[in-house]
Every structure is written in structure tokens, then in C-alpha cells.
Structure 1
């Protein structure tokens, strides 16, 4: 088994999509890429920890490749959106003063990132990033970070497989118009 870690906005929809892919043997949502040990959701939302909401995916490379997971990742979110654009897309907020002045929207917890676990993943991520950038042209810039995986802090239990157990919809976390569906 191997691990892959992705961030692309709200982690609920991403987890729901990844866990339905054949060859994915486990998922967990959490926080990574920041400076505080064992942050909680409120701390991450504040923006003071530097963490991003992410999904750690455990997969069988004999069944699904890292490249296939990358393809799903690119499909499930728009990697060209800035933080504010991503928040607008997720929460349907068009008032910048709300985004600038509300603590829950202050941080960088929603951003696009690939946290690679080995050199092969790093190289494949860069190649995939470059191919995506070439395919969309110069009008937009892919803003996804490609960085080494660091400590992954599992989110609180209520966030694990949230959409499956809460009856929530993908639209509630920015997966509008089926963008989190890769079928």
C-alpha cells in the first residue's frame, strides 16, 4: 500500500470522491503543511497555523496508480482559483468584506496542494501539473503547490467520511455541478 495526500478546498467532497475509486483502501481527512502540533478545526480555520484541509489516501498501486489519483484530483476542483475565489466557489459568498473580516474565512486552509510522499510522486506531480498548465493555456495559472508530505494530523471524528454519514451533499462543500464526481 502507498499513501497520497491532496488538498483542494473543503476536504469532505474530496474524501468522498477518493474513497469511491477502486484501489483506494482508505481515506482520512485532516490538516497538514502548517506549524502547530495537533491543531483542531477551529485553529486551522483561523489561519494562524498555516495548515490546509487535506485528504490522505491509502491505495493499492497494483489496482490504481498515483497518476489516476492525480487525474481525479485535477477533476474535483479548479486549481486555478485564488483563495478568495475558492471560498466564493465553496460558500457562494460574493462580498469581499465577509471574506476579509470573518475569522472562519481568514486562513489559507482552502488551497490546492499535492503533498508528495516520495520522489516518484514528486516527479509525476510536476509532470501532471505542467501538462495541465499547457492544456489550459496562458489565460489562467495553475496555483497548486507541490510540496513534500509532512506530519498529517487527523481531523476530528465528525469530519471523517462526513458526507457519507451526515446525509450532506457535495454542494455543501464546493462540489457544485458534479465537480467532485469523476464517474
Structure 2
């Protein structure tokens, strides 16, 4: 079985993590940071907005079950790729919309999907498309955050609606346990 990894930034990593954890074919989702200059940044440093990092998730998946294209289609459904450096009330470069490709094939597919999505959204897409550089796993308390804290305010009012939208739009792609 060939396993692939997608690295995506679309606002707070808790939102993306919660959705991709429920996707059929996904083996693992990890929250982290990439796209910046500082080695081993902390959450606090990234939140200050001076490291250049984006909050991202790394989605490890089985392409025989879910394709990279499908991963990207979901990505463009669960966040707003037209707002520069923000998702809702989350504002800063760490919340930018970004696809960090691992291979030339991922780069080509991402370009293709971004071009298609330009016809879907009313405003220009500002999603960055960059090769994956150094990636740093976020602190342990950020991992599996929504599952551990579903009633926390941000989770209840921001993450839960994104998960509900994913479940509704992509119901046929849910894990059996979701």
C-alpha cells in the first residue's frame, strides 16, 4: 500500500484536523507549522506572527481510498480561500490559506484544482502554493484537539460547524466511526 501525505493550511489547524480525521482513507492527521524561518517554533511564537509559519495539518492517506484531488476538494469546501491571512475571526499570516506540495504530481494537481476553484468562488483565490519546507509538529496539546475538547468555546462555535458541513457535503466519504 502506497501512503501519501498532504500538508495544508486553512486557518486554525484544529478545524482541518477535525475534518480530515473523519475522512475515509486517512491514516493519520497531525497539526504543525511550516512556511516560516524559525526552527522549532512554539505556538506562542507562531501566534505572534513574526516567524512566518502557517498553522497546518499533515494528512497521511491511502490514495487507493481517497485521492489527493479529493483531499483538496474537501480543503476548498471547509475554508475560505479568498481571505488573505484570515479565516473568520482568526487573523494573521499563521492562518493563511496554503497548499504545501510534497511532489511535482501534487503541485500539478494543486494548480489544476486551484484553477477549477477560481470558477466556484466569487472572489479571487489567495491560496499559496509552495513546496513543503521544514515542518514542525505542534505541541502535544494541539493534537486531536477537537475530539478532546468538543465543548470548548472555539470548538463548539467554529470547529463544530465546519465538521458538520463536511459531514453533510461529503457523507459518503466518512469513516465508519465518524
TM exceeds 0.5?
Answer: yes
Alignment partner of 1:110 out of 92, 95, 98? 95
For 2:37, the equivalent position in structure 1 comes to: 35
Describe the SS at the equivalent of 2:15: helix
Alignment partner of 1:154 out of 137, 146, 170? 137
For 1:96, the equivalent position in structure 2 comes to: none
Q: Tell me if structure 2 keeps the 8 A contact 1:15–1:55.
A: yes
For 1:141, the equivalent position in structure 2 comes to: 124
1:143-182 equivalences in 2 (<5 Å):
143-167=126-150, 168=152, 169=155, 171-173=157-159, 175=161, 178-181=164-167, 182=170
1:9-48 equivalences in 2 (<5 Å):
9-48=11-50
Alignment partner of 1:129 out of 90, 114, 118? 114
Q: Tell me if structure 2 keeps the 8 A contact 1:33–1:50.
A: yes
Alignment partner of 1:7 out of 6, 9, 26? 9
In the alignment, the residues of structure 1 paired with residue 103 and residue 119 of structure 2 have an alpha-carbon distance, to the nearest angstrom, of 25
Q: Tell me if structure 2 keeps the 8 A contact 1:13–1:170.
A: no
Give unmatched runs, 5+ long, in structure 1: 92-104
Measured against aligned partners, the alpha-carbon deviations of 1:91-134 in whole angstroms (never above 9, x if no partner) come to 5xxxxxxxxxxxxx5x4100100000001100000000001102
What is the TM-score with the length of structure 2 in the denominator? 0.85
Give the direction of change, closer, same or farther, for the CA distance of 1:170–1:133 in structure 2 (3 Å limit): farther
Number of residues of Structure 1 aligned to a counterpart in Structure 2: 164
In the alignment, the residues of structure 1 paired with residue 93 and residue 146 of structure 2 have an alpha-carbon distance, to the nearest angstrom, of 23
For 2:175, the equivalent position in structure 1 comes to: none
Give unmatched runs, 5+ long, in structure 2: 172-178
What is the TM-score with the length of structure 1 in the denominator? 0.83
Q: Tell me if structure 1 keeps the 8 A contact 2:18–2:159.
A: no
- Note the C-alpha offset of 1:166: 1.5
- Note the C-alpha offset of 1:47: 0.9
Q: Tell me if structure 1 keeps the 8 A contact 2:19–2:163.
A: no
